[in-house]
Structure 1
Amino acid sequence: MSGHGGSSPPNWESPQGGTPGWDPSGQGGQPGPGYGYGPPGVPPRTVSNGTITAALVCNSIAIVLCLNIAAVAGVITALHAQRRITTDPRSAWKLTIWSWSLFALSVVIGIAVVVFFLTIGADS
């Protein structure tokens, strides 16, 4: 295991016993249970209660400031996410993403309304 040429030094034995790189059983070198990288796929992301609460608070502030229907939908999705955090974490994660997306949409709509009224006020 010198890292050069792929061969081991002379008189070197593997810590597991036998010659390195040789499988005397002829099984093909398949690892036993508990070895390897695990099943394919990525584990589902979990969402914290703080993320849901922050989405709920931000959407509530957007309702107060903009009276925006997208923020109302964001509050509703955040409330549903809070109810599902223990029973269905994957659904709670998706609902939290939706809640933040609706908050972003309400901010964009609020900015567009402000710009619209500023341009109307500047024209008159």
Structure 2
Amino acid sequence: MLTGQCLCGNVSFKYDGPLGPIALCHCSQCRRTHGSAFSASAPIQKLRFQLLSGDESIREYESRPGKYRAFCSNCGSQLYSRVDAIPGILRLRVGVINEPLQKGPAQHVFVGSKSDWFEITDQIPQFEKTERTNDPH
């Protein structure tokens, strides 16, 4: 069981299922959304994700046709993204999880558009675009 919340605590959730591989996405949309060199997210099963509070605080932004990025309207914390083409999967932003994850990132994706001010120095596999099919990052 994993739990999590946004920065202000308005939105809280629990997740009772497997956490997929963590991807560090360096695309320009993720960099802008997070104000950082990359985002860290993992796929989860929507059916096993339950909001405990703050449903009314969640807003979604359609960043491209059929892709939505969810965030807390009070504090701006990024929560997850989803795509219409894969209705049963969310990409949970792992920074909002309360518990230790017991695993690290599995891959860097979209390194072809990474920022020029960040150097990747680890040995995690890097992909110019992505190896994930129907990627909702």
Report the TM-score range of the alignment, normalised by the length of the smaller protein. under 0.3
Higher relative contact order by CA 8 Å / sep ≥ 6: 1 or 2? 2
Structure of larger gyration radius: 1
TM-score using structure 1 length: 0.19
Name the one with the larger helix percent. 1
Kindly indicate which of the two structures has a greater share of residues assigned to strand.
Answer: 2
Q: TM-score, normalised by structure 2?
A: 0.18
